[in-house]
Structure 1
Amino acid sequence: MLEAIRQDLLQHKKELGVNVILSDGNCLLLRYPEGFKSLKQETLAAILAKVTGLLKEKGIPGHDACTQCGGSDNTFIAYVGDIPLSLCDTCFQQLEADFLEAERQHEQADKNYLPGSVGALLGALVGAIPWTIVAYFGFLAAILGFLIGRAALFGYKLFGGIPGRGTKWIVLLAALISLVLAELVILALQIRAEGIHLNIFLFIAVLVQPEVLKAVALDLIPSLLLAGLGVFPLLTDIKAQEKPPRIQKAQV
């Protein structure tokens, strides 16, 4: 239904004066290109009036009708996550029961933490490659820390991991391991740059020296801080995926 509405609105793109009309599967997004001219209130009202008229022509009920059954008795606004719905009390209770059941099933489902952890680590290692290159030349950027976290989460899901309460800790641990390994790679590259022939045994012998360990730890601190600035905002997204969305009545 949403796709059909989107296609219909696209046919009135010039008339509406919108630049892009997108659908993410749950809602429609209309973008108005302001440029150097700000969007005036009367222009916005005209766009909304046109869109409302088109939706009425398609038989889409307004907020005075239940979006589930089409009834108009005692409707109110409820939210599924951030999405508003006009519902009657009967449909609200049914949806509430459905969402609670979905949440219960999600809690009981196997989250595949083990294969997900493998994927998260591999993803974080790939995501740490740009960090390693940039850090080798003496630069650090929090956005690259975000890239590591995002790559870890992608790898977690790619290997069958399902978002759950342990996901954020898996992503954090994978990011931490990848950062430590990145620092060790940088150290190895710096040693080779001095013309020293390096093998794994020599590298370990150098690494266990107290002054070297201290230097690596000192280098790791700002890396962890900056990477943390990039990774921690991602945890909010992960937390939002831990449970299915809930339905609740709008606060009046």
Structure 2
Amino acid sequence: MANLMKLAQDLQFNFKNKYANGKYNGYDVALEQSMANPMLFSFQVEPLDAAQYNQFVAFLNNNKKQLKMNQYRIKDHMISISWFGSLSPMSAKIATEYLDLVTSELRRLSIYPNDSCVLCGEKDNLTEITINGVKMKAHQECKDSEILKLKQDTSNKPITEKHLFNGIIGAFIGAIIGSIPWILIEILTGFYAAVLGILIGYSAFFLYKTFGGPLNKNTKFIILIATLFGVFFTNIALASYVIIISGGGIMIANYIICYTDPDISSMLFTDLFIGLAMTAFAIPAIFKKVISSEKPKTIIE
């Protein structure tokens, strides 16, 4: 986020939360930085006709490498382009070149900056509003009407506590199911298979959604906890297998022996370490999947 703050300062944009808004070559532009998008450029324009749409999409596809474009979205008054660049953060120089390239093409295709209400399409008597952090033009009455509609939609939504509980149960069941390949391969082959720990998080997220778990800001933490549970469950399951084939009973004393015996504990702790490492490797990708699955909440200010 510090990178976006610096970009906003260099470009003389206004920074608030995870958005930077400003004007560039006459266009209202918003920059957004998040886990899902290292940098998202949004341009406020007049709605495109069919010819303009096709020509601009062709421009994006032809310059995909130069734009380092991951995806784009063109809808109504908004053109959004996702930048996936190098490991280093975007500099003001790169941002300026990017903005110059896109805005010059918009001008060439006669796609002009938006000067009408984004909610009703009419002009005159416009004010500035913010929708999900992006500044736009709209009528005050349209803004008030849309806010009222959103409040009514929110109040009519069913209570989700039951869905949340079901989702949590699903996540933990998914974590257990995701651990089965790891357990079976180690038992059947005798080789370390902790690399398969990467499956646990995906399985937990899949069952969380299948059981009706709501997708919101808490989802990532639920999946993380369920994934860690799956890794430790696997380790304890393997310790249980060692106890059983040794002729012992499933009791706390035998688990203490397993985790203190130099030979057995080294195997178990190595397996646990690899599993946790695989989890750390997979979690960012799973979080991206969670974020991309979330239904965006509309906030109008």
Same fold, TM-score > 0.5, yes or no:
yes
Q: Counterpart in 2 of 1:66?
A: 117
For residue 211 of structure 1, the aligned residue among 254, 257, 280 is 257
Q: Which structure's residues are more often helix, by fraction? A: 1
SS at match of 2:250: helix
Give structure 1 stretches of 5+ with no counterpart: none
- Distance between the aligned counterparts of 2:97 and 2:221, measured in 1? 49
1:34-113 superposed matches below 5 A? 41=96, 44-54=99-109, 56=111, 62-70=113-121, 71-80=123-132, 82-106=133-157, 108-109=159-160, 111-113=162-164
- Distance between the aligned counterparts of 1:114 and 1:157, measured in 2? 12
Q: Counterpart in 1 of 2:233?
A: 181
TM-score by length of 2: 0.52
For residue 214 of structure 2, the aligned residue among 155, 159, 162 is 162
For residue 10 of structure 1, the aligned residue among 42, 45, 57 is 57
> Aligned pair in 2 of structure 1 residues 48, 185: CA closer, same or farther (>3 Å)?
same
SS at match of 1:156: helix
Q: What's the % identity of the aligned pairs?
A: 21
Higher RCO (C-alpha 8 Å, min separation 6): 1
- Distance between the aligned counterparts of 1:28 and 1:229, measured in 2? 29
Contact 1:78 1:87 survives alignment (8 Å): no
- Distance between the aligned counterparts of 2:166 and 2:70, measured in 1? 38
> Aligned pair in 2 of structure 1 residues 231, 72: CA closer, same or farther (>3 Å)?
same
Give the CA deviation at 1:157.
0.7
Give structure 2 stretches of 5+ with no counterpart: 1-46, 87-92
- Distance between the aligned counterparts of 1:24 and 1:42, measured in 2? 20
Q: Counterpart in 2 of 1:121?
A: 172
Q: Which structure's residues are more often strand, by fraction? A: 2
> Aligned pair in 2 of structure 1 residues 94, 177: CA closer, same or farther (>3 Å)?
same
> Aligned pair in 2 of structure 1 residues 40, 90: CA closer, same or farther (>3 Å)?
closer
Two-structure CA RMSD over aligned residues (Å): 5.1
Contact 1:65 1:72 survives alignment (8 Å): yes
TM-score by length of 1: 0.60
> Aligned pair in 2 of structure 1 residues 33, 163: CA closer, same or farther (>3 Å)?
closer
- Distance between the aligned counterparts of 1:167 and 1:83, measured in 2? 25
- Deviation sequence 1:177-233 (CA, Å, 0-9, x none): 3122210244356x4xxxx9728x7362586343325576x9398579754786599
> Aligned pair in 2 of structure 1 residues 28, 181: CA closer, same or farther (>3 Å)?
same
> Aligned pair in 2 of structure 1 residues 238, 11: CA closer, same or farther (>3 Å)?
closer
SS at match of 1:86: strand
- Distance between the aligned counterparts of 2:283 and 2:169, measured in 1? 18
